[in-house]
Chains A and B, each alone.
Chain A
C-alpha cells in the first residue's frame, strides 16, 4: 500500500464522484471503464490494492425517485494509475485544474439493467463510486516468489492489477493464465500475437492489459477457439508438468465458483498456496447488510456445528482457498 499518500488524506475509502475518462469494448460482452478521480478521491484511490473492488451506483444517485436499480454493482479494480497509457488509453485524457488525477479501470460484463446503464455512460459523465473496498491479495514479501495469476471470465481484471503491483514490488516471476468458455468471452484486448499461438503451453504476450507489467500469459478456452483447449486448471497442470520450478509458486485466482473450487482443490493436492478472490451477490459492500455471506470450513470436527460465515465485502473478497467451504 502506498502509505505516503494514505497518510496525507487519512482515509482508506470513501464515497466519491468520478468522471468517465474512457469506455472501451473488451471482447463481445465486456467493457473497460476508466474512471478519473481528482483531489482527495485521487489520494484515496491511489492506495487501492489488487483484489479490492468499488461499488458503482448504476444510476443517477441524486434522483432517488428515479430509482431502478436499487443496489450498487460491485466491480473489481483492474488497474490504478496516474498514467492513462498504463490503462490502455492514449494521452489527452487528463483533466485540467483538478490537482492530482488518478485513473481507475474497472472491467465489467454488460449483463442486466445496472451494467446496461453503466455501458451507456459516455466520456465526461459522472458516476458515484464507493471504494476502494474489501481486503485484497497478500502480495509476497519475497521478490523471488513466483506467482501464478489465474483469471476466468470476468475474474480476469483483478489479475491485471495484481500483475502491475507485483511488478512494482519487484517480483519478476509472474505468470498469467486467462480462461474463458470461448474467444469472445475474454474480457481483455487480445493482441494479434494471440492468433498465431503455436504451443499453447508456452506463455506469451497475448493480452494488452498484461503489457505494462510485462506478464506472459497462457490463454485457455474451453472450446479451443484460442490458445489451450481446456480449462485453466488443465492449462496450469500442463504448464507445471513442463516447468517443475513453478510448483513452488503462489496462486492468485478469481473467477466463477466452480473454477475457483477446482483451482483450490488442485492447489491443495499439489501443496501450493492459493488465494481466491470471490464474487458474491452483494448489498451494501461495506459490511452492513450481511448479504454476501460465504461459508468457511469449520475448524472443529463437529459437522453439526453451525456454519461460520464470512462477508465477501468486508472480510474478503480475497480468502485463503483452504479456508473456504467449497461444498456449502
Chain B
C-alpha cells in the first residue's frame, strides 16, 4: 500500500465557525505560551490553529509560587493567569503569531464583564486573529472567572456582550467541568451566540503537604489537567455533543489529557470536531504533530476520506 496516496485521500480540515482549520489539532490555552517559546521545539505552522494563553486587560504577575504540582497521571496548577496584558500582547507576540500562518485564537480572561469587553473590543479589530476563546472557567483567580462559568445567566450575558463587540470574530466559549450539569452551561453559551465550545477546562483540586499540613500550592487549590482527567472530559464532550451541540450544529473543541492520537480520536468519536493538546506539550512539544499524523493514519487505515466522518460516530 502506498502511504502517500492514502494521505492525499484524507481530508483533515474542519470548520470552527466560519474559520477553516487545515486539521483538527490546536494548542490548549496556557500550555503553549504566546507561541514563540516553542519555536525551537515544534513547527507550530503545521497546526490546525493556535490558541494563546489567557490575555487580560492589564498585565498579571500571577500567583505566588508554588504554582504547580504533579499528581498521579496529572498536573495541578494555579498559575493565576500570569500574562503580559493586552497592550504588550498586541505590540509583541501578536505580530509573531500572524507570521505563523495558522488561524490564531486569543484566549480572553477577566475579572469583570468590562475587562472581557475591553480585550474583546481591542482584538476584534485585529486582522491577525481568527477568533476569541473566552475563558469563563479559570478556577485559579480568586476575584472571579469561575462565577462566569458556573452561572448560566451570567455566562449567557458575558458571551452575548462579547458577541456584540466582536461580531466579526469566531467566538469560542471554554467551559468549566466544575458544574453539576455541563449541558446547562453549554446550552447557555450556544444560545448567547457562541460559535463553538471548548471543553473541558481543568478540574479543581488540592494536594496537601502532610508534613506541613498545608496545601502544596500557594493558591491552595489548582486546576487538574493531564491524562488523569481524560475520561471525565471525554464523557462531558459526548454528553454535550449528544444533547446540545450536535443538534445545534455547534462544533466542540475537545480537550483534557490528550497526549497522543489515540486520545484525540476518543474525543473526536465522542463528538469533538477539533482537539486541543495541552499538558502533554509541556513535556513533549512534538506531541502536537504526532497527534495530527496519528489521526491521519487512523482515517486512512479505516478507509475514511475525512475527519468529519468520524466526528460523533460513537456507537
Contact = CB atoms under 8 A, between A and B. Distances in A.
A289 B262 CA distance: 24
A291 to B, nearest CB: 4
A61 B284 contact: yes
Interface in A62-85: 64-65, 67-72
B17 interface: no
Given A64-B259, A288-B33, A291-B79, A71 B282 contact: yes
Contacts, number: 110
A61 B283 contact: yes
Nearest to B285: A15
A293 B38 contact: no
A130 B284 CA distance: 9
Q: Which 4 A-B pairs have the closest CB atoms?
A: A64-B259, A291-B68, A284-B282, A288-B33
Contacts of A290: 62, 67, 79, 82
Contacts of B67: 281, 290-293
A307 B37 CA distance: 23
A294 interface: yes
A98 interface: no
B226 interface: yes
A314 B67 CA distance: 16
Interface size range on A against B:
35 or more
Contacts of B259: 64-65, 67
Given A64-B259, A286-B37, A293 B82 contact: yes
B61 A306 contact: yes
Given A61-B284, A286-B41, A291 B77 contact: yes
A292 B37 contact: no
A293 B68 contact: no
A13 B40 contact: yes
Query: Which among A280, A290, A314 has the greatest number of chain B C-beta atoms within 10 A?
Result: A290
B262 A65 contact: yes
B154 interface: no
Contacts of B9: none
Contacts of A61: 283-284
Contacts of B66: 281
Given A64-B284, A68-B73, A307-B61, 12 more contacts: A12-B40, A15-B284, A64-B227, A64-B287, A71-B283, A128-B284, A281-B69, A288-B282, A289-B31, A289-B77, A290-B79, A291-B79
B65 interface: yes
Interface string A127-140: 01010000000000
B65 A280 contact: yes
Contacts of B79: 289-291
Contacts of A292: 65, 67
Contacts of B284: 15, 57, 61, 64, 128
Interface in B281-295: 281-287
B30 interface: yes
B114 interface: no
A132 to B, nearest CB: 12
A281 B282 contact: no
